[in-house]
Every structure is written in structure tokens, then in C-alpha cells.
Amino acid sequence: MTGVLTETVGTRRPGAKVVRTGRARRGRRVLASVVAGGLVLVVWTVVSAVGLVNPLYLPSPGAVWEAFVRANTLHRIADGVDRYVIGEQGYYLWEHLLASLQRIAVGVGAAILLGPLVGFVMGMAAPVRWVAEPVLNFLRALPPLGYIGLLIVWFGIGDTSKIWLLFLAAFPPIAIATLDGVLGVKQDYLHAARSLGARRAQVVSLVVLPATLPNVLSGIRIATAFAWTTVVAAELNNGIPGIGGLAYIAGTQLNTPLTIACIIVIGVAALLLDAVIAFIGTRVVPWKGKA
């Protein structure tokens, strides 16, 4: 019996402890985030309760929650007429969020399709890189508000200009991240592949591409976050439905509770988007960090 127990313990998978350690670390990270959020909520509640800040500038958490609920329900207009309106600006809050996510999906999706291709070509062909890299760096350095007016002139105030703005926000980071990945492939890997008789196409597909994928996914993650922060700028004009447009209009109307509710929704959506992309990255490139 002792021999059986010894053999069982000895055959335990070596990676099991690493998996448990990783899960424990993630658990502690989640707990720390929850505690930090709880502390912020407590301080916010106390500050608003004692009246340290005018409610116009910092409404209570309860007022923000009421604005959030109101924006997601069908409510009656308090003007003596038996009329009901949907959410805010004729849409529920989740519809505003969905409209912004759809614009992000189209704009960033196009950047995800074209960015790695352009970055890969730049990395493999030096003349292309010499011409295209300054243009990409110029676009990356421009703030979105710098050319939103020009996009409106070209494409109008509809969704087309918004999608183009989000595309231009996401495309340069993805292309440059891909370029850095191609240029960062270790020469030892290339020499080893060629010494084993690999042709150029095999070197590219079996060595360069897998080595570049982690950079591509990191670029997509950064680009998506940057595009999401651009959504308010994209929806300044005719941004309804849209969570950024709703936040902007609520601010101009001094509806601070709704503005803060929109900000919280934008932040939570950003965290969820980043978590999804990070999860996909661990599945697509499980070798990242293990070379």
C-alpha cells in the first residue's frame, strides 16, 4: 500500500503546482480589485453624504444608480401628460453601448485585417518599410480630434466618418507592432531553419509568422483600447445612439449622474474587451513567454 501511495505521489504532474499557483495569483488579483473598488465606493459615498462636494459636480452613488436604471427602463414623463419614453435620447443604455461596440467592431476589425498584413510586408521588404513607416508614425502621433473635422467633411456626420476615425486610431499600432515582431525575430532561428534546408516560404510561415504573432496580438490589444478611448471623440457629432454620444450630451445638459453612469459603463466595457482579447491571446499563442 505504501508503495502504491509513493508511486501515485511520484507520478503527479509537474505542471499541476504551476497551474494552482497561477489560479491563486489571479484570485488574489481579483480580490484586490474588488477591495479597491469597494474602498472607492465607500469614500465616494461618505464624501457625497457629508456634502463636501456639490452634487452637481459629484452626485451620490445612489443618484448615479438611479440614472443608470432610468436609462435602461421605460419611464413616464413628468409633465402632466400620460407619455412614456425609452431610456435616454430614445434608446436604452444597452442600445447605446451596442451601437458603439458595432462601430468598434467594424473600424478595429478592418484594422485587424489590414494592419498585420501591412506590418508584415514592411518587415519583409525594406523599401516598403522606408516609405510606409514615417506615415504610420505620423498617424499614430495625431490625436483623434486632430482629423475628425476632416473626416466629417469627407464622409459626413454619419457612421462612416466614425468608423474611419476608429480605423485610423487602431491601424497604426497594429501595423507597427507587427513590424516590430518581424524585425525582432532572432537570427539564430532563421539560420537554424535555413541550415535544415527550409525554403524562404517555409522560413516565413514556420518561423517568422509564429514568432511575430505575440506582437500582433499585443498590438491588437493596445489598438482596441486606444480605439475605445476614441469612441467619445468619434461620437461628438450625431453620436446617438452611442455610449460616447450619450455621455457627451448628458454632460452638456449638466446631467452629471448620467454622465458618470456612462463613464462607468465605458470603463467596464473596456475592461471586458481587454480581458476577452487577453484570453484569446493565451489560446492563440500559448508559446508566448516560453521561448
How far apart are alpha carbons 162 and 268 in whole angstroms?
22
How far apart are alpha carbons 19 and 24 in whole angstroms?
9
Q: Is the pLDDT confidence value at 162 over 70?
A: yes
Q: Is the pLDDT confidence value at 7 over 70?
A: no
CATH 3.20.20.70 fits 100-242, yes or no: no
Nearest to 142 by CA among 230, 79, 83, 240: 230
Q: Which three cell numbers stand for residue 270?
A: 473596456
How far apart are alpha carbons 70 and 86 in whole angstroms?
9
Q: Is the pLDDT confidence value at 3 over 70?
A: no
Q: Is the pLDDT confidence value at 180 over 80?
A: yes
Q: For residues 73-81, give the mean pLDDT.
A: 69
The conformational region for residue 284 under phi > 0 = left, psi -120 to 50 = alpha, else beta, is alpha
Q: Which of 15-19, 28-32, 150-154, 260-264 has the highest mean pLDDT?
A: 260-264
Nearest to 100 by CA among 280, 252, 265: 265
Higher pLDDT, 147 or 91: 91
How far apart are alpha carbons 211 and 203 in whole angstroms?
11
- Report pLDDT for 9: 45
- Report pLDDT for 269: 92
Q: For residues 62-70, give the mean pLDDT.
A: 91
CA 52 vs CA 38, 57, 62, 66, 216: distances in Å: 20, 11, 16, 21, 47
How far apart are alpha carbons 189 and 195 in whole angstroms?
10
Q: Which three cell numbers stand for residue 273?
A: 474587451
Domain range list for the chain: 100-242
Q: Is the pLDDT confidence value at 192 over 60?
A: yes
Nearest to 233 by CA among 245, 250, 251: 245
**Consecutive H or E run containing 60:** none
Report which DSSP code applies to 88.
Answer: B
Q: Is the pLDDT confidence value at 209 over 70?
A: yes
Nearest to 262 by CA among 71, 47, 45, 19: 71
Q: For residues 42-50, give the mean pLDDT.
A: 85
- Report pLDDT for 100: 92
**Consecutive H or E run containing 146:** none
Q: For residues 59-79, give the mean pLDDT.
A: 84
Q: Is the pLDDT confidence value at 204 over 80?
A: no
- Report pLDDT for 8: 44
Reported pTM? 0.81
- Report pLDDT for 4: 43
How far apart are alpha carbons 285 and 177 in whole angstroms?
15
Q: Which amino acid is at 89?
A: Q
Q: Where are the alpha helices (DSSP H) in the chain?
A: 2-10, 16-50, 61-71, 93-124, 126-141, 148-155, 159-183, 187-195, 200-203, 209-229, 231-234, 243-252, 256-284
Q: For residues 33-51, give the mean pLDDT.
A: 84
Q: For residues 88-104, give the mean pLDDT.
A: 91
Return mean pLDDT, the chain: 83
- 60: exposed, middle or buried (C-beta count within 10 Å: 0-12, 13-18, 19+)? middle
CA 227 vs CA 15, 142, 163, 165: distances in Å: 38, 13, 10, 8
pLDDT, one tens digit per residue, over 221-244 is 999 998 998 887 788 888 889 999
Residue whose entry in the numeric block shows the C-alpha cell 436609462: 71
**Consecutive H or E run containing 76:** strand 74-76
Higher pLDDT, 236 or 1: 236
